[in-house]
Copies of this chain bind each other. A is one copy, B any other.
Amino acid sequence: MSFEAAVHAQAIDLDKLSLDICAEAGSGHPSSAMSLGHIVTVLMFHTMRWSPEAPDYPTSDRLVLSEGHAVPIIYAAYSRLGGMIGRTPAEWRPMTIEDALSLRDGPSVIDGHPNPREGFPFFDAATGSLGQGLSVAAGLGDAARLDGYDRLIYCIIGDGESREGQIAEALDYLIDQRLSNVLPIFNCNNYGQAGRVSDQQSPETIQAKLEAAGFTVRAIDGHDPAQIREAFEAFTKLQETENAGPMAVVARTVKGWGAPTVQAGNWHGKPAHGESLTRAKEELDQRRVELTSSLVQSDQFVIRPPTEAPAREFAPGEIPSFSDTMRRYDMESTLHAGRLATRKAYGLALRALGHVNDRVVVLDADVSNSTFAETFAKDPALADRYFECKIAEQNMISVGVGLSAAGKIPFCSTFSKFLTRAYDQIEMAINSGANLKLVGSHAGITLAADGPSQMGLPDIAWFRAFTTMKDHRGNPGCYILQPSDAYAAYALTGVMAEYEGCCYMRTLRSDTEFLYSDDVVFNLGGFEVLSEGRDVLLVAAGYMVHEANKALEELDRQGISATLVDLYSLPFDGDALLDLAQANNGYVITLEDNYGASIGAAVADVMTESGDSFTLQQMHVRRIPKSARTPEEVLSMCGLSSGDIAARCLDLLQVGAV
């Protein structure tokens, strides 16, 4: 049987299986899947160098299905090839047709959209929320080049999907990075969900845009096996050319290819049942007869194994102490000055980390001189592990997911406000089990002069949702860290690197005084007691710890003995905090320079869970902030100055006039 006939036969087999899979599930996207039958056949049965027995082998070629809802076609292929499935390597077993038919069932690892964490190690990341996969592929490509692996990354993107701005970001990034080891494949089947794709996403326009961005484009019939193979061979050949620019494939396909029954009308996301199902499969059988001369299952395909992965030892060291690092980099005078912004300490810690942990990589979005990721980036020994993503945060985060899937430890930074741009991507990263370290600078209102378009205000509220649930490892979905001084920021950066799972650290614009020393140990889930009193418990984080400290002096003058806790981590040890609260009459005031539903709410949660009686006052920003020239001014505007804190304590304790 010729290659073409074999591909047709196999594609049709996968198309039929996709129809059955979705019929059995009662939901799914068979017509989307069928537009990819030929491309996926050529990739998984012929082109990709991989091993179904060891699907996550470090040097295997990878396939990222950005168009995640088309996954039934990959499940079909994988079940034919007996690829390994299972949530842990210990549970791995070859996938069967029965597994495929269990799509979307509760106990099944065959999930509605791709997710390696649910037991499908062929994939590197969860997809399904559109527009993200090409960035993941770019991250995998970055890692492959860093590691010197001969590894190619294929990424399938839907035409309707390519409307998502993140795809444009990823394409620019591929060109900037000259990642010619990544192949974007645009699946142009002409239909989105609610109708035809816009002319802006036609194959011609997609090609024109790609060429304008600097890609070499191969336009093909996505159901013509010879054209598909040749396109992939061109990609393989590209790897032999030094410093070649990336190429892309634009494939015209047919949604519901081969079965007119599932083409007419709107079949997006609709399984075929009963008569429609029977008819569609008959139509596919008919195509098979037309396109191949044999009724025999093809055994013509040979999957080439990946190149051998070199043995790699990973022996990370511990970072030196903060003071040692300060001295090493000629910052002794600052050490003595006793003040340094947490964002600067973060940069320093990154640099120290880079030298002892070669898996650490750093990404930033054109603000590295504000976040101080530049401290890492400008170290010549580390520069090749720095990835400048420019003003495109969505892409940055999903690139981080790809890097993480390839075993790196990505630290991604930008202003905390701008990280909001990538919340969808961050959630998908958590679902993927990515080992992402997120750092949002310029948090809170003390940013002052730039105003609210640059301030992180509702960010803790969002991340807090992930502190209330567990990820696939059984850890909190995400830790939120708020170092209040340079020592804490430095230490927590090191802690993040040693921990496996998602973390989000907020840093500040302002220089802040040192509160701690090299001896203080910071833990995920911990908190620090800065002052022990018995009248009222103040709970603060970040900048507000310093403001609270000022208030302590005033309170002391008034004869009030206050306890001050630096709640640098969410989640935190609720029992321990409540003990402290009890030791302070049950009076608690939380202090934060961001919107509510944040630290105060976290404290309210543990209080109400206990069932005991407490008095909690939450001080936070309750209006839209505006520019002010100094942090003091904006804090006063928002009723969060040390004077306001002291007044609130006195009011709570009903102590005389202020």
Contacts and interface: CB of A to CB of B under 8 A. Distances in A.
Contacts of A450: 27, 104, 112-113, 128
Given A212-B209, A453-B68, A418 B129 contact: yes
Contacts of A318: none
Nearest to A632: B106
A618 B604 contact: no
Interface string A158-198: 00110111111100100110000000000000001111011
**Those 7 A-B pairs whose CB atoms lie nearest each other, nearest first:** A165-B165, A128-B453, A468-B596, A458-B465, A461-B465, A208-B212, A112-B451
A369 B212 contact: no
A622 interface: yes
9 contacts: A103-B627, A115-B451, A115-B452, A128-B454, A129-B453, A163-B391, A192-B391, A208-B213, A462-B465
Contacts of A374: 194
B390 A622 contact: no
Interface string A349-371: 00000000000000010111110
A193 B370 contact: yes
A401 to B, nearest CB: 13
A638 to B, nearest CB: 10
A424 interface: yes
Among A113, A165, A614, A628, residue most surrounded by chain B Cβ atoms (within 10 Å): A165
Nearest to A595: B465
A477 interface: yes
B597 A608 contact: no
A131 B392 CA distance: 9
Interface string A611-628: 111111110111110111
A568 B172 CA distance: 44
Contacts of A304: none
Contact of A452 (B106, B431, B467): B431
A368 B192 CA distance: 11
A293 interface: no
A471 interface: yes
Contacts of A104: 449-451, 627-629
Identical copies in the complex:
2
B465 A597 contact: yes
Given A27-B449, A127-B453, A469-B622, 5 more contacts: A104-B450, A104-B628, A176-B198, A209-B209, A468-B595
Interface residues of A, number: 128
A111 B627 contact: yes
A327 interface: no
Nearest to A596: B468
A599 to B, nearest CB: 11
A26 interface: yes
Interface string A86-116: 0000000000000000011110100111010
A276 interface: no
Interface in A102-155: 103-106, 108, 111-113, 115, 117-118, 126-131
A332 interface: no
A466 B458 contact: yes
A620 B609 CA distance: 14
Given A391-B160, A622-B469, A165 B169 contact: yes
Given A106-B634, A601-B605, A266 B462 contact: no
A634 B194 CA distance: 27
A608 B607 contact: yes
A106 B629 contact: yes
A440 to B, nearest CB: 12
A130 B165 CA distance: 13
Contact of A597 (B214, B468, B627): B468
Contact of A118 (B468, B596, B626): B626
Contact of A451 (B113, B418, B628): B113
Interface string A413-433: 000011011011001101100
